[in-house]
Amino acid sequence: MLSRGAQVHGYEVWGKLGEGGMSEVWLAKHAVLNVPVVIKTLRRAIVESVGDAGAQRMFDEARLMARVTSGRVVRAVDAGTVDGTPYLVEEYVDGVDMAELDRARRGALGVGLPLWTVCRVMEETCQALHAAHQAGVIHRDVKPSNLFAAPETGIRLGDFGIAVARGEGPPVGISGTLRFMAPEQLRGEPADRASDAYSAGATAFDLRYGHPPFEDASTALDDSMAPAFPPPHGPGEAYFQEVVRGMLSKRKADRPQELCVAAAHFRNAYQALRPAEDPASLVALDRCHYRFQGCDITFRAGDIADEAADAIVTSARFDMSMRSGVGEAVRRRGGDQIEREAMSGGGRALGECVETAAGALKARWVLHAVSAWNQTSCVGRATLRAIAAADRLGLRTLAFPALGTGAARVSLETCANAMGSALRWRLQLGGSRLRAVSFVLGDEAKLATFRDVAVGALRGGVEVVRPADVGLPDDGRAVTAESATCLDPSSGAPPPDGGRPSP
């Protein structure tokens, strides 16, 4: 088992990010390049129970990931063993998975994702799957929680833990996630390209409508049961439904055999559904004051502890202490009770955001964003989660410092690009209650550097859109897009749904 500060063949471990039924997931960085990575290890109990078979499975996953040379797939960086435990090193994606984004949006705003966003996500997902298939790799576990969204780089398809090489022998048992598995997978038959097409279609359905097309194995296996699409909201959604309906056909032969074709259909739908491009969407009112998607964005030099806002964001340490930098300024002005409340839940993983009361500050809340460590940035993820917390709390105004640029020594440019990209992406989705965001830097020189990069990120390198469709009203059904991957080599029955999410 790894621990904080451990050295793994040139990588320095920060700490655990999460765990699933078979593996543990750790955040680390390259010791020389300071590039963040994810290290996936088999749980000790699994290593002891299955021995070399567990290591073989992990190394197979690494080799299959490494085969796929696409920017839409999470890259395998390294693999090996440490103290007898096999590990896989993967690219770190500085964002959140689509299941988390969808769940947070429905819970905070009561609406799902805009259809144009779903189509864009599915275009990039199908591109990733096409690249995998061209490399002879069948993913077998496509679902929203395995789609990682980074505002700076787009969608990455990850978790190849149960992937197989095309044409591999018959499966042992049934592997996958029940609500996203093709009928042939549920029957224990070999998966192929068409099986991934089905799972991608189920993912598209779930992201738009808040639940998968079939709720249980019996309806998924019943050839007479078709997915129940709601009435389409216009011709664009009718087109989307027709594409997804074909991907969800119970007959493999009726599904698209090449997912580049599905990607083209989703791209056509995105082009038709997205609101008209507006080059003036980012409006410069003066050098330090901008307006974007109905939100006023200001840049100023000063002490963030003096700000008046619904919430002040701090750049938090993983142990949540507030004895240096921005945290100390906020604690001194707002009172020690802010620190005590922040620390009451124990240490936090990088990328998390914790809210506390604001004490004597001119704010209602303090949002503690754990954003960086030793020149390693998780600023994009932390910013997205701070904005998600603001939506959940019904906040309209936020004040941000430059996250991670103090003791963690992330460069101002890296921070500004990550924060500007995250804010742009979140506002483009529409539905946010945010009406004013302030970025507060300690002096004019830092402000100038931060502002120039952040404004460039807000302008973006992709289409800037005005959100017309902000998502369907949530119907109150449980969102289960993060359902666990099941791997049961001993059973011929369909896998149970539920349990701990796979990493």
pLDDT digits 0-9 by tens, 371-388: 999 888 999 999 999 999
At 479, the pLDDT band (50, 70, 90 cuts) reads: low
Q: What is the CATH number of the domain that holds 193?
A: 1.10.510.10
Closest CA to 244 of 234, 96, 232: 232
357 inside domain: yes
62 inside domain: yes
Closest CA to 419 of 364, 391, 456, 470: 456
Residue pair 177/497 in contact by the 8 Å Cβ criterion = yes
Report the pLDDT value the prediction gives residue 502, as an integer from 0 to 100. 40
At 462, the pLDDT band (50, 70, 90 cuts) reads: very low
pLDDT, tens only, 189-223: 999 999 999 999 999 999 999 999 998 899 999 99
Sign of CA dihedral 25, 27, 32, 33: positive
- Comparing 140-154, 196-210, 341-355, 459-473, which segment has the lowest mean pLDDT? 459-473
Same domain for 57 and 109, yes or no, is no
Report the pLDDT value the prediction gives residue 110, as an integer from 0 to 100. 94
Residue pair 125/200 in contact by the 8 Å Cβ criterion = yes
Distance CA 87, CA 93 (A): 18
Distance CA 302, CA 130 (A): 50
3 state SS of 486: strand
Same domain for 210 and 259, yes or no, is yes
pLDDT, tens only, 59-81: 998 999 999 999 999 999 999 98
Q: Which of 256, 274, 292 is the last residue of a domain?
A: 274
Report the pLDDT value the prediction gives residue 334, as an integer from 0 to 100. 98
Closest CA to 59 of 74, 73, 40, 45: 40
pLDDT, tens only, 30-52: 999 989 999 999 877 776 677 77
N-to-C CA span, the chain: 16
Inform me whether the pLDDT recorded for 459 exceeds 80. Answer: yes
359 inside domain: yes
- Comparing 226-240, 325-339, 475-489, which segment has the lowest mean pLDDT? 475-489
**Strand-strand pairing, 436-441 and 295-301:** parallel
Same domain for 394 and 254, yes or no, is no
Q: Which tokens go with 184?
A: 């042939």
Inform me whether the pLDDT recorded for 268 exceeds 50. Answer: yes
Report the pLDDT value the prediction gives residue 412, as an integer from 0 to 100. 97
Same domain for 86 and 101, yes or no, is no
Distance CA 198, CA 247 (A): 5
- Per the structure, the count of domains in the chain is 3
Q: Name every residue whose Cβ is closer than 8 Å to that of residue 461 and which is 6 or more positions away in sequence.
A: none
Same domain for 309 and 339, yes or no, is yes
Inform me whether the pLDDT recorded for 356 exceeds 90. Answer: yes
Same domain for 254 and 126, yes or no, is yes
Report the pLDDT value the prediction gives residue 176, as an integer from 0 to 100. 74
Q: Which of 91, 121, 149 is the last residue of a domain?
A: 91
Same domain for 433 and 310, yes or no, is yes
Residue pair 93/148 in contact by the 8 Å Cβ criterion = yes
Distance CA 314, CA 307 (A): 12
Distance CA 95, CA 127 (A): 19
Report the pLDDT value the prediction gives residue 274, as an integer from 0 to 100. 84
Inform me whether the pLDDT recorded for 491 exceeds 50. Answer: no
DSSP annotation of 253 reads G
Same domain for 107 and 85, yes or no, is no
Inform me whether the pLDDT recorded for 496 exceeds 50. Answer: no
293 inside domain: yes
Mean pLDDT of 250-276: 92
Over the range 265-281, which residues count as b (16 or more CB within 10 Å of their CB) and which as e?
bbbbbbeebbbeeeeeb
Distance CA 52, CA 60 (A): 12
Higher pLDDT, 80 or 466: 80
469 inside domain: no
287 inside domain: yes
Same domain for 330 and 386, yes or no, is yes
- pTM for the complete prediction? 0.89
406 inside domain: yes
Distance CA 240, CA 259 (A): 15
Distance CA 133, CA 167 (A): 11
At 226, the pLDDT band (50, 70, 90 cuts) reads: very high
Inform me whether the pLDDT recorded for 224 exceeds 80. Answer: yes
Distance CA 378, CA 403 (A): 9
Same domain for 336 and 441, yes or no, is yes
501 inside domain: no
Which stretches of 240-321 are assigned E, i.e. beta strand? 282-286, 289-292, 295-301, 311-316
Backbone angles phi, psi at 130, to 5 degrees: -60, -45
Q: What is the CATH number of the domain that holds 299?
A: 3.40.220.10
Angle at 214 between CA 177 and CA 174, to 5 degrees: 30
**Exposure on the CB side of residue 357, measured as CA atoms within 13 A:** 8
Same domain for 296 and 347, yes or no, is yes
| H helix runs in 156-192, sequence order | 183-186
pLDDT, tens only, 388-410: 999 999 999 999 999 999 999 99
Report the pLDDT value the prediction gives residue 485, as an integer from 0 to 100. 58
Report the pLDDT value the prediction gives residue 315, as an integer from 0 to 100. 95
Residue pair 290/455 in contact by the 8 Å Cβ criterion = yes
Closest CA to 54 of 40, 71, 42: 42
Inform me whether the pLDDT recorded for 273 exceeds 80. Answer: yes
DSSP annotation of 252 reads G
At 15, the pLDDT band (50, 70, 90 cuts) reads: confident
Inform me whether the pLDDT recorded for 501 exceeds 70. Answer: no
Inform me whether the pLDDT recorded for 426 exceeds 70. Answer: yes
Same domain for 328 and 402, yes or no, is yes
Q: Which of 41, 71, 91 is the last residue of a domain?
A: 91
Report the pLDDT value the prediction gives residue 206, as an integer from 0 to 100. 97
Q: What is the CATH number of the domain that holds 45?
A: 3.30.200.20
Q: Which domain holds residue 157?
A: 96-274
Mean pLDDT of 281-298: 94
Phi-psi region of 455 (alpha: psi -120 to 50; beta: other; left: phi over 0): alpha
Report the pLDDT value the prediction gives residue 486, as an integer from 0 to 100. 55
Which range of 344-353, 397-406, 453-462 scores highest in mean pLDDT? It is 397-406
Mean pLDDT of 470-478: 77
Mean pLDDT of 286-315: 97
Backbone angles phi, psi at 449, to 5 degrees: -65, -50
At 493, the pLDDT band (50, 70, 90 cuts) reads: very low
Residue pair 421/282 in contact by the 8 Å Cβ criterion = no
Q: What share of the chain is helix, strand, coil (3-state, %, to 5)?
A: 35, 20, 40
Residue pair 313/386 in contact by the 8 Å Cβ criterion = yes
Report the pLDDT value the prediction gives residue 417, as an integer from 0 to 100. 97
Distance CA 117, CA 273 (A): 9
Q: Which residues form the catalytic set? A: 141
Report the pLDDT value the prediction gives residue 13, as an integer from 0 to 100. 93
